[in-house]
Amino acid sequence: MKTVAGAFLLAVLIAPVQAQTLPGGFVFLRDIDPTIIQDIRYASSNNFTGRPLAGYGGAECVVKREVGLRLKAVQQELAQKNLSLKMYDCYRPARAVADMVAWSRNGKETAAERRYNPAFAKADLFRLGYIATHSLHSTGAAVDLTLVDLTADNSGKFDPAKDYADCTAPAAARAPEGSVDMGTGYDCSDVKGHTATDRITPAQRRWRTMLVAAMARQGFVNYAKEWWHFSLPGAGGPAYDFPITRAR
């Protein structure tokens, strides 16, 4: 009996440490639907800054609960076609947005950074509408995502030491995405990344159309300059700055 009581007491003491309470109606997406693939780029070096952004202490998709439930509904529809959503970014702490601003103004432009914006300088990203100084991501109502064909070989891994072609190049030459070919890589600040561009192939157009349609059926609205960016009107609110940590 003492052993059982001791184990129970230990569980009670440990539980509050393991449980995490998120503010403002936020949830970890994996608690809503663990089948949705996550590749949170700003928690790694695989993004346009080449390093993790401030506030990304864990590679976790955090969203408002309503957003999570609707993403689950999208995932259930896609599963019937052997497809899955893949999350690139979800809630973005305000400090990460400030980090992006500082990065854009540091006066440096490396070859790795140019892969994401081959046509113009990174200092112009905000003026041209590719990055916002006040992001909907910080409200929990916006997400960046793509589609994964679950029947395909998605084993390609990003190698930070490799000299990849820029984000507008054919899929075989640019950094591996582990997803369907949408015509550009994620975070490609280029006209080719605009959702309705005519500079992509018919097959790439069909993938984009499928993604936009599936998201629209759950109320999500696409941002015209980024095929990967969607927001849920009315689900946001104030911008938050709490850091992202691991779900458990």
**Cα distances (angstroms) measured from residue 202 to each of 182, 209, 227:** 10, 10, 15
Q: Which two tokens stand for residue 143?
A: 């997400």
Q: Flag whether 153 is marked binding.
A: no
Distance (Å, whole) CA 13 – CA 138: 33
Q: Is 144 annotated to bind ligand?
A: yes
Cα separation of the two ends of the chain: 30
Please choose, from the candidates 135, 179, 182, the residue with its C-alpha nearest in 3D space to the C-alpha of residue 156. Answer: 179
| Residue 142, C-beta contacts closer than 8 angstroms, at least 6 positions apart | 135, 136, 229, 230, 231, 232, 236
**46 within 8 A of 116, measured Cβ to Cβ:** no
Catalytic residue (one of 60, 77, 177, 226): 226
Cα-Cα-Cα-Cα dihedral sign, residues 233, 235, 239, 243: negative
Beta-carbon count within 10 A of 129 CB? 13
> Quick one: the chain helix, strand, coil %, rounded to 5?
30, 15, 55
Per the annotation, does 194 bind a ligand?
Answer: no
66 is annotated as an active-site residue: no
* CA distances, 35 to each of 46, 59, 117, 187 (Å): 22, 16, 32, 23
Supply the residues annotated as catalytic: 226
Binding residues for Zn(2+): 137, 144, 229
Binding residues: 137, 144, 229
